[in-house]
Structure formats: structure tokens, C-alpha cells
Amino acid sequence: MSADNKNKLSFATRSVHAGYNSADHQGSLNPPIYMTSTFAFDDVAQGAGRFSGEEPGHFYSRVSNPTQEILETRLADLEEGEAALATASGMGAITATLWTLLAPGDQVLVDKTLYGCTFSFMEHGLKKFGVDICFADFTDHDDIKANLSDKTRVMYFETPVNPNMRVIDIAAVSGLAKSYNSDIKVMVDNTYCTPALQRPLTMGADIVVHSATKYLGGHGDLIAGAVVADAETIHQIRVFGLKDMTGAVISPMTVFLILRGIKTLQLRMERHCKNAQAIAEMLDQHPAVDQVFFPGLKNDPWHQIASLQMDDFGGMIAMELKGGYQAAVSMLNKLKLAKLAVSLGDAETLIQHPASMTHSTYTLEERGEHGITEGLVRISAGLEAVEDIIADLRQALGD
Ligand SMILES: Cc1ncc(COP(=O)(O)O)c(C=O)c1O
């Protein structure tokens, strides 16, 4: 596909074709998997040119690889960014990016609720190296304004937020950052939505990160991540954060699986969203449920902003049962079809308890401060027939 027609084709078409032309690969419909660590040079000048960046081409697979390049081109296209970098995990993408952008004395202004390991990397990792981590409620713009400072280099958030499903206004937060200091990088974790539902770079954000382990891969059979941004930022993350700091390199085999997964991304997201909407509506009416957190519900406080910035409401739901923690444990232990497992975005419906699992990196006090309640249950709506998922949830709730 040539660069000039890429955005004229629809998202579904680009998910199948962007970045790959079978004519360049002996007609092979699917991309070759280049299982190679290194690349042979014609002569010393060519090797030196590739290392210095004066000559295009691969030289070592800790930096780039032809199979990986196809995925990176496809992801950049779908997120409407200039360039992308695929990594060994979502945490590999987040850490390689932040190690590249930050220095001691810089401040990262972060939304108060984050995926547990991202929180841990910032609070227990970056802080040790002299980076100031400042938490604010990004749904409260006055709180953001009160905490922006001359030291702010990066603003970081997820939306919808893992696990409590708050929705953050990407355009408004990016606008606040840029009007304070145009050099501040606004970084959004787009794992929950994928570009099929939300494209933060078109709303003023600078950098998108993903756990490709989730919806992008889509089948629960791999761990991977990605960063999408302008070409210069991606180059810096590749040759420093990835090559020298984390070494979190993706395998070409994993790249192949993600490329296969992305071909059905839009189809799968449609079904995830439809199933999640029906599950959330059932839970919202259920007498054992205290509160459902899902932006597709009209009574959800984030419904309006989600309707504006997301193409649909996603496949993730959170809820609190009336009996709190004990009721949650009892319900989770009774599930028969849905799997009691962390991760999300798989074909299987996955349910978990953030306080004891994905967000156990926060202490009890930290969970209290950061809005993660002990009774919260997180559901990743799978691709099964929705009546079967609902029947399983109902029996676990005691119907
Ligand atoms: C929102 C979000 N971001 C990042 C990550 C980290 O991704 P990975 O597990 O691929 O390292 C996760 C993992 O659950 C996540 O849910």
C-alpha cells in the first residue's frame, strides 16, 4: 500500500493490508517471519552506515527486524501516527519510553489510577532515580492545573482507566498540557480501546502506548507491547530506551501472531463491545450489584465524554457487589464458564479481583488513595454468545 492512499482506505481494510505487499515477498499472502539475530553487510562501509543511521537497513534484531517493521508500519497507520515501535511487553513499551524521555529532576504528572505495574514502575522505580511522580485526578482539570510545573515533562494516563473505568477527556488534557508548555509530552495508554475505538494522537496526545498482549493480539497467546508517536521520538526510544535501557525486544514469531490478530481487530471489538453492553445492562439491574462502571450505560458519569471520544464503549466492565469484598470472592469462586484470570481482550470472558491481583502492587493505603476499592470486580467481556456469559454471571450471583 502506498503512503499517500493509506488514510483513504477504511480502518478494517488497513488492519488487513497496511505495511505489507505480498508482491514484495514472492507472493506470500502472509509476512515471512525473519528469525534472525543479525544481518550480513556487503562491506564495512555498509555496516558502518547502518550503525550510524546514514544508510537505511537492519543490522541487529535488538534494534529492528523486517517482520517487526511490518507490524510497526501497520500500528502507526491504524493509530494515525508517524511511526511505531513494537516491544516484548506493554511494560517494555512504557518503560522504554519513559526512560528515554526523563532525567533526574523532571516531573511526570500522572492520573491517580493506573494499571498496577505502571504505578509500581513510577512510584517504586522512577522515583528512586530522582524523577518526581505527581498524581492528580485527570477528570478534574483544576487539579491538573494546580500540579503542572516547570519541571513537568510528561503527562500520563489511561482511558478508560484500569480498573475503575473513569474516562479522561484526551483533547482537554492535551490542551491543558500544551497551553502550559508545548514541550510537555502527553502519553496515553490506549490498551483498553485500541485504535479501533479511540485514536488519541488525533485528539492532541503525543505518544500512545499499548499492551499488545490484550486486544491487539486478541487470543491470549502472547505478551507484547507497542509505542506510537512522531518518527523522531520513536527513533530515540528505539536506539536508547529499547536498545540500551530495557532490551525488551519482541520476537518475530510474536509479531506474526499480532499481525494475524489485528486482521480481525475491528470485527472482534464490535463483538466485545456488544457483549459488554448487554452484560453491563444486566448487572446494572441485578439486585446483588451495588454499582456498575461502564461508560456505555446512560447513567454512567463518563457516558457523555466517552460518546464523544470513543467510537464504541469497549469490552471492559467493573462492578461493586452489595456485599463488598466477601460477596465478590464468593461470586468469583462460583464462575463456571468465565475464567478467573488476569489479562483482558481475549476470546474468553476473563474476570478478576484487582485488589488482590492486577493492582496488588499498590499497598492497601495506596489503593484507598488511588480509587481502587477492595470489593471491585473487573470483567473482560469475551467473544462467547452473550446469553451464555450472562447465564454464568447470574448463577454466580445466586440467581
Ligand atoms: C492498561 C494496561 N497497560 C499496560 C499493561 C502492561 O502490559 P503487559 O502485561 O503486556 O506488559 C497492562 C497489563 O495488564 C494493562 O492492563
Closest atom of ligand 1 relative to the 212 alpha carbon:
10
Q: CA 71, CA 79: separation in Å to the nearest integer?
A: 12
Distance of CA 273 to the CA centre of its chain: 16
Q: Whose CA is nearest to atom 10 of ligand 1?
A: 90
Q: CA 95, CA 241: separation in Å to the nearest integer?
A: 8
Ligand 1 center–CA 210 separation, angstroms: 7
Ligand 1 center–CA 276 separation, angstroms: 20
Q: Is any atom of ligand 1 closer than 6 Å to the C-beta of 211?
A: yes
Residues facing residue 317 across a β-bridge: 379
Kindly report, residue by residue over 195-212, the tens digit of the pLDDT.
Answer: 999 999 999 999 999 999
3-state SS assignment for residue 355: coil
Ligand 1 center–CA 375 separation, angstroms: 21
Ligand 1 center–CA 358 separation, angstroms: 9
Q: Is any atom of ligand 1 closer than 6 Å to the C-beta of 194?
A: no
Q: CA 18, CA 201: separation in Å to the nearest integer?
A: 18
- State the cell numbers at 97: 519510553
Residues marked as catalytic: 62, 115, 189, 214
* Region at 105 (left for phi over 0; alpha for psi -120 to 50; beta for the rest): left
pLDDT given for residue 371 in this prediction: 84
Kindly report, residue by residue over 268-297, the tens digit of the pLDDT.
Answer: 999 999 999 999 999 999 999 999 999 999
Q: Is any atom of ligand 1 closer than 6 Å to the C-beta of 65?
A: no
- State the cell numbers at 358: 492486577
Strands (E), the chain: 83-87, 107-111, 132-136, 152-158, 185-189, 207-211, 225-229, 289-293, 316-321, 339-340, 350-352, 376-380
Cis preceding linkage at 163, omega within 30: yes
* Answer CATH for 266-396 from 3.10.150.10, 3.40.50.2030, 3.90.1150.10, 3.40.50.2300: 3.90.1150.10
- State the cell numbers at 44: 564495512
CA-closest candidate to residue 224, choices 198, 259, 196, 200? 259
Q: State whether CATH 3.10.129.10 applies to domain 9-263.
A: no
3-state SS assignment for residue 396: helix
Q: Is any atom of ligand 1 closer than 6 Å to the C-beta of 97?
A: no
- State the cell numbers at 354: 484487582
Kindly report, residue by residue over 58-86, the tens digit of the pLDDT.
Answer: 999 999 999 999 999 999 999 999 999 99
* Region at 66 (left for phi over 0; alpha for psi -120 to 50; beta for the rest): alpha
Q: CA 194, CA 297: separation in Å to the nearest integer?
A: 20
Place of cell 525473519: 34
pLDDT of 240 higher than 70: yes
Q: Quick check: 179 and 152 in contact, CB under 8 A?
A: no
pLDDT of 128 higher than 70: yes
Domain range annotation of the chain = 9-263, 266-396
Distance of CA 217 to the CA centre of its chain: 11
pTM equals 0.97
**What kind and span of H or E run contains 365?**
helix 364-370
Q: Whose CA is nearest to atom 6 of ligand 1?
A: 90
Q: Is any atom of ligand 1 closer than 6 Å to the C-beta of 79?
A: no
Q: Is any atom of ligand 1 closer than 6 Å to the C-beta of 213?
A: yes
Q: CA 90, CA 210: separation in Å to the nearest integer?
A: 6
Which residue of 214, 316, 372 sits with most ligand 1 atoms within 8 Å of its CB, as the best mutation to test the pocket? 214
- Percent of the chain topping pLDDT 90: 97
Q: Whose CA is nearest to atom 12 of ligand 1?
A: 211
Closest atom of ligand 1 relative to the 191 alpha carbon:
1
